[in-house]
Amino acid sequence: GDSVTQMEGPVTLSEEAFLTINCTYTATGYPSLFWYVQYPGEGLQLLLKATKADDKGSNKGFEATYRKETTSFHLEKGSVQVSDSAVYFCALNRETSGSRLTFGEGTQLTVNP
Amino acid sequence: NAGVTQTPKFQVLKTGQSMTLQCAQDMNHNSMYWYRQDPGMGLRLIYYSASEGTTDKGEVPNGYNVSRLNKREFSLRLESAAPSQTSVYFCASSEPAGRNQPQHFGDGTRLSIL
């Protein structure tokens, strides 16, 4: 079945550091890939998405590139801020699953001033 | 613009009690979902409703029932709560047209079962 694996957390960085959160997936066909973010006490919000190989999704300084050859969708940001502290979820949607999502386990990011 | 509204936000139950978690969306979405979130396990789909009048099991449906009351509302019922059902529950909605439509989430219900 489909699965999403994220790097083990939690991740703690200093402000202005470079961020990478790894995400790899297993799925048949050509899934769409998503990053969601969950701020403390809130529900998940879509951060960015990519729908086909080599697509780059971007939003709020975050980027991720759909790499079919390595089945990966790593999240990156060049300079993190304290306000980026949150839990980040990688997810996929397979073309035969309608709009259902399969989520990774989430990565807790803490950014210290 | 409320989006997806869940009630209650917090609840404590005793083992064996029943309760219903309520969810309503005001975005005229056709599809709605219930997830549970547990530490280190991400979100797991309990049930979903692709459209009004239909419901289907997700990954972890045992111990739960759902009702798609109308297009706006999708409730989750625990008939006999168990400690293993202690979790944070999220409701979400989306348009099904095209699999790339984002899901919109409520703020969650934090449920503890003693």
A17: which residues sit within 8 A by CB, 6+ positions away? A79, A80, A111
- Are B109 and B23 within 8 A, CB to CB? no
Residues of chain A found within 8 Å of residue B4, distances taken between Cβ atoms? 43
pLDDT at B97 over 60: no
In terms of pLDDT, which residue wins out, B40 or A20? Answer: A20
Other CB atoms closer than 10 Å to residue A20's CB: what's the count?
A: 11
- Res A41: pLDDT: 86
- Res B42: pLDDT: 86
Nearest neighbour of A105 by CB, restricted to B40, B105, B108: B40
Residues of chain A found within 8 Å of residue B5, distances taken between Cβ atoms? none
Q: What whole-number percentage of chain A has pLDDT above 90?
A: 77
- Res B1: pLDDT: 62
pLDDT tens sequence across A63-81: 999 999 999 999 999 999 9
In terms of pLDDT, which residue wins out, B81 or B97? Answer: B81
* CB-based contact A103 B92, cutoff 8 Å: no
pLDDT at B102 over 90: no
- Res A8: pLDDT: 75
pLDDT at A32 over 70: yes
Average pLDDT score over residue span B17-32: 94
| Phi-psi group of A29: left, alpha or beta (phi > 0 → left; psi -120 to 50 → alpha; rest → beta) | left
Q: What is the largest CA-CA distance in chain A?
A: 44
B-facing residues of A in 29-48 (CB < 8 A) are: 32, 34, 41-46
Nearest neighbour of B99 by CB, restricted to A46, A98, A103: A98
The mean pLDDT value of chain B amounts to 92
pLDDT band at residue A98 under the 50/70/90 scheme: low
Smallest CA–CA distance from A89 into chain B, residue: B42
Average pLDDT score over residue span A38-51: 92
Average pLDDT score over residue span A35-52: 93
pLDDT at B12 over 60: yes
Instruction: Report the distance separating Cα B21 and Cα B26, nearest Å.
Output: 17
- Are B45 and B55 within 8 A, CB to CB? no
User: Å from A14 to nearest chain B CA?
Assistant: 24
- Res A65: pLDDT: 97
Nearest neighbour of B42 by CB, restricted to A97, A99, A105: A105
